[in-house]
A and B are shown apart, each in its own frame.
Chain A
Amino acid sequence: MEPIIALENVSFSYKINETSSVSVLKDVSFSIFPGEYVAIIGHNGSGKSTLSKHLNGLLTPGSGDVWVHGHNTKDDTRKLDIRKAVGMVFQHPDNQIVATIVEEDVAFGLENIGVSREEMKQRIDEALEVVKMSEFRKRPPHHLSGGQKQRVAIAGVLAMQPDCIVFDESTSMLDTFGRNEVLQVMRKMNGMGMTIITVTHRMSEAAEADRIIVVEDGKIVMDGNPQEIFKHKEILMELQLDVPAVSQMAEMVHNQIPIFSNELIQEEELINEVKRVSNARSGEVV
């Protein structure tokens, strides 16, 4: 399968003053394939936000290349195709809302690419439907909750019909309810075949993905499925990261009750394991 995004030996540095610069990405290579749900984790300053901004050409590599659908992000003539293919949702809901009415906000991107009136209406309807914000379409966005605003921002990206959406810490300003709303939307879109890349500090959120990429000091240090990644608690702790609360609980229960699995990462799995072990234990003595 052709990758949707491919990074080849990407390096990037920020100039900090006249004479010196800080190297943020160091020879990073990996590919993202259509339909994947990928979480990127790493501590503050590890380079993950810089990395995510390379995925649709907001930043271009100092050396090396980023390819989106085979187009080089350094090729300015392809910029529009690249931005259409890979959409981005950022951290602060307030900073990405531009219009005074929800549906106009969703329409903003479409107006800029010259979509016909008819199609625009249809795309807005669909996008608001996916994020479950249809009933708010005539409302001003500034009285919405954080989660609702973030869903409006997602609808705006979705209406552009990208193949991939990058969420750069998009749930970090949201409360539990807002976060769950956004996570549900992400899961739903992935179910519809869209490629999802999420940059997050919440390990329970990373556990939702099919694949986790761990960034440290501008390099990829781990890349695998969440079950594998979260087995390495010591390494993650060294990298200033953690494992989900669910995994920690499972580990502690496992230490007392060995038949209880210590390889759980999601709430659902933990609940099911309690049921399983509880039944097995009552079964033992019947």
Chain B
Amino acid sequence: MPEKPIIEIENLFHTYMKRTPMEHKALMGTSMVVNEGECIAIIGHTGSGKSTLIQHFNGLIRPDSGKVIIDGVDLSKKRIDIKALRRKVGLVFQNPEDQIFEKLIGDDIAYGPFKLGLPLKEVRERVKWAMDMVGLNFEEMKDRQTFALSGGQKRKVALAGILALKPKILVLDEPTAGLDPRSRNELLDKIKFLNKMENLTVIFVSHNMEEVAYLADRVYVMANGTDVLSGTPEDIFTDKDKLQRYQIGTPETVQVLYRLNDLGYNVNTSAFAVSEAANEIIKVLNDGEGENHG
């Protein structure tokens, strides 16, 4: 499949509260390309510009200078079809409770598709599909009140509300923060399914390096308003100097492997998965024995 860029960001700048004493430069010349069907992780510290960047993807923020092209639409142009853009790009924010406003779960998820003017039957089907995708039982949960949900359940409802719009590009800000291990794994698998099987382009911001390693095809590292590093998770997590310089964490498995490496054990530090990391340990323990025999 030829690679077709669906998001192109070039030399993007954004300054909040321009020409005031509170002026704050959030983006300073960042660039990024996302191809159709890719799964991209954006990592970086608070204040590195991640949130400002992703708000450009559906036109919540328009470029100060630089280029933002989403699926062929140049967002620096004055006149754009913002509705069409928002339908194409679904954005799930970090605090799910901010994005839920209806009294009942089913109504909340149905709000978007209903506003698209879809027939009721289709709205219902989409709500059911979206709830299934995030692991909420339709019959059991649709008439529950949203305020009595736990934090993790609210997160699922917010995501279902966006999925029900069937976007072409899904943008997630910390999708699994606050989810228990199983809900987290299920959600990651669902995102992977949507990405790989339904060709949904996924961009997610995360501080959880396990999920970055598990999901992302490529990773962009942001610092001080610009992209400082990009590559596959292997590229990123094996570059020890840059990990240190930009204070990027690694998956727990890699952390253990780095420490063993420092102690002189010859382990491959790019083994993220638990089983791969365990195999690295088995290998050095067995090798050690072999060497001594020889």
Contact = CB atoms under 8 A, between A and B. Distances in A.
A169 B289 contact: no
Interface in B164-214: 174, 177-184, 207, 209-210
A201 to B, nearest CB: 5
Q: How large is the interface on B (under 10, 10 to 19, 20 to 34, 35 or more residues)?
A: 35 or more
B265 A175 contact: no
Nearest to B292: A285
B180 A241 contact: yes
Interface string A252-286: 11001100100000010011001101100110111
A145 B47 contact: yes
A240 B181 contact: yes
A42 B54 CA distance: 32
Contact of A175 (B45, B148, B293): B45
A31 interface: no
A172 interface: yes
A252 B275 contact: yes
A249 interface: yes
B260 to A, nearest CB: 6
Interface in B216-231: none
B291 to A, nearest CB: 8
Interface residues of A, number: 55
A178 B249 CA distance: 10
Interface string B221-255: 00000000000000000000000000111111101
A253 B281 contact: yes
A170 to B, nearest CB: 11
B259 interface: yes
Given A143-B47, A204-B252, A278-B284, A176 B209 contact: yes
B181 A201 contact: yes
Contacts of B293: 285
- Classify the interface of chain B: helix, strand, loop or mixed: helix
Nearest to B152: A44
Interface stretch (A14-22, A78-86, A111-119, A189-197): A14-22
B31 to A, nearest CB: 23
B243 to A, nearest CB: 10
A176 B278 contact: no
Interface in A122-177: 143-146, 149, 169, 172-177
Among B149, B152, B279, max chain A CB count under 10 A is at: B152
A260 B183 contact: no
Contact of A245 (B47, B184, B253): B253
Given A260-B285, A281-B288, A245 B247 contact: no
A45 interface: yes
B34 to A, nearest CB: 22
B249 A177 contact: yes
A44 B281 contact: no
A285 B256 contact: no
A245 B252 contact: yes
Contacts of A248: 274, 278
Interface in B30-77: 43, 45-47
A52 B144 CA distance: 23
A92 interface: yes
A44 B152 CA distance: 5
Interface string B117-160: 00000000000000000000000000011001111110000000
B253 A49 contact: no
24 contacts: A16-B144, A43-B180, A44-B153, A145-B45, A173-B207, A176-B248, A177-B249, A178-B46, A201-B180, A242-B182, A245-B210, A245-B253, A249-B253, A252-B275, A252-B278, A257-B282, A271-B260, A271-B263, A278-B265, A278-B284, A282-B288, A282-B289, A282-B292, A286-B292
Interface of B: 43, 45-47, 94-95, 144-145, 148-153, 174, 177-184, 207, 209-210, 247-253, 255-256, 259-260, 263, 265, 274-275, 277-279, 281-282, 284-286, 288-289, 292-293
- Across the A-B interface, the 6 shortest Cβ-Cβ residue pairs: A176-B249, A44-B152, A175-B207, A240-B182, A252-B278, A242-B181
Interface of A: 14-17, 22, 42-46, 49, 91-92, 143-146, 149, 169, 172-178, 201, 203-204, 237, 240-242, 244-246, 248-249, 252-253, 256-257, 260, 267, 270-271, 274-275, 277-278, 281-282, 284-286
